[in-house]
Chain A
């Protein structure tokens, strides 16, 4: 029996093999950042017991300010609603993190769900990234500040978006990823789309070390 191999939602586009360092040759740069852990956390943001237990398990304060996100070495925590957060982590850590959260939250009203297979992430950068976002979403991305997250539309699907570095990160549902990628490609057509070597961040770094990944 072959070793388990992960395949990301955009695997069939073969993006990894097309990737190159970002330069001035394209107005827009994008790529999938595959194989990241996603945990859905539910609980009452007004319940101090919940917030402190969750914060402790996560190692950073749970963001309770609407539409904000918190980042640490190992996780990003996105506020999605007054009782919902998305925790972005390395996939190898998602399981352990789930257990840690469940343990910490015992006795407090909560839900912890490993949703790692349900999402993928798209990097969008380049000088015309904002133009592309204007094409694909009704949200006022010009006003999106670092440290904030927007749950909004992307074409006829939805997205959680935030800024990171010089670009944007779009978290999209797995089954819509094909549609969303094609939609972004179409929107980026006027500016030229390059497949980017995404700057490796801590989450991706650990991910590739711990699991087998199908070649792009």
Chain B
């Protein structure tokens, strides 16, 4: 049962207030029509699903309704931090985008 720090509300809140938003930083292809079926299918369906650190989104459903970024270890349930979407992108890029 997680407690997340909402970077917008500035408070720790219980998991029940949040919704899971899936893997973070899967940008929509700018020109989908130029992609072949495999590349489009990869964007649609393929996921990292790592055992270990995972950059993911959560949405503060009953609070500020904002999506934000959490770095969470899927093997241990540990949480390294939470960020706004833009700050999370910076933190993710600073790690080289790796998981």
Contacts and interface: CB of A to CB of B under 8 A. Distances in A.
Asked whether any CB of A lies within 8 Å of a CB of B in the complex, the reply is yes
Interface in B1-30: 8-11, 13-14, 16-17
Contacts of A84: 64-65
Interface string A156-167: 001100000000
A152 B13 contact: yes
Contact of A81 (B11, B14, B65): B65
B17 A138 contact: yes
Contacts of A139: 13-14, 17
Contacts, number: 46
Contacts of B77: none
A37 to B, nearest CB: 22
B61 interface: yes
A67 B10 contact: yes
Interface residues of B, number: 15
Contacts of B10: 66-67
A44 to B, nearest CB: 13
B32 interface: no
A62 to B, nearest CB: 16
Contacts of B63: 81, 150-152
Main secondary structure of the interface of B (DSSP, over half): loop
Contacts of B31: none
A81 B13 CA distance: 15
B18 to A, nearest CB: 10
A175 interface: no
A138 B9 contact: no
A81 B64 contact: yes
Contact of B64 (A138, A151, A153, A159): A151
B91 to A, nearest CB: 19
Nearest to A66: B10
B8 A153 contact: no
Contact of B8 (A81, A138, A150, A152): A81
16 contacts: A66-B64, A67-B11, A80-B64, A80-B65, A81-B65, A82-B66, A138-B16, A139-B17, A150-B63, A151-B9, A151-B60, A151-B64, A152-B13, A152-B17, A158-B62, A159-B62
